[in-house]
Amino acid sequence: MKEIIKYSKNHEWIKLIEQESLYAYIGISLFAQKELGDIIYLDIDKKIISDQNIKAGEIFGSIEAVKTVSDLFMPVSGKIIDINNNVLLSPDLVNKDPYNKGWILKIKILDIKEYNKLMSLEEYKQYINK
């Protein structure tokens, strides 16, 4: 299966990795990490690992850079499967490799329609160039 990355208006990306099971990775876009600058700290709400489902648009943590602190928003409703502890220990992975080693959450998507409504790369490029 070809990996397709979709984008939210809050600059999170989501990559579907297993179509049948609806597993996906979430991170922040290359554009967002460049805007933030050097990322020095990631704070993920530890309560989200429980059996709780998180709705699209809800804050799941924050990302701190030299310039500013920004909230992290869920691009789709999902159940959190895993948090990338590597980025918690080395937040600069988000700067170095935002779409691979810099992923933040692994989730199970609860509603594929929400995923399908997100922006394609072409749509996202138009959105950030407004």
Q: What is the pLDDT of residues 70-109, one digit of tens each?
A: 999 999 999 998 999 999 999 999 999 999 999 999 999 9
Q: For the chain, what is the domain count?
A: 1
Contact, 121 vs 3, CB < 8 A? no
pLDDT of residue 51: 60
| pLDDT range class, residue 52, cuts 50, 70, 90 | confident
Q: CB-based burial of residue 49 (10 Å sphere; 0-12 exposed, 13-18 middle, 19+ buried)?
A: middle
Q: Which segments of the chain are extended strands (E)?
A: 5-7, 12-18, 23-28, 39-44, 53-54, 59-65, 69-73, 78-83, 105-109
Between CA 84 and CA 28 the distance in angstroms is 13
Residue 65 has pLDDT above 60, yes or no: yes
pTM above 0.85, yes or no: yes
Between 49 and 40, residue with greater pLDDT: 40
Between CA 35 and CA 19 the distance in angstroms is 31
pLDDT of residue 19: 73
Average of per-residue pLDDT values in the chain: 91
Q: Across residues 42-66, what is the average pLDDT?
A: 86
pLDDT of residue 53: 87
Domain that includes residue 76, residue range = 5-128
Per DSSP, the three-state class of 49 is helix
**CATH code: domain of residue 66:** 2.40.50.100
Residue 1 has pLDDT above 60, yes or no: no
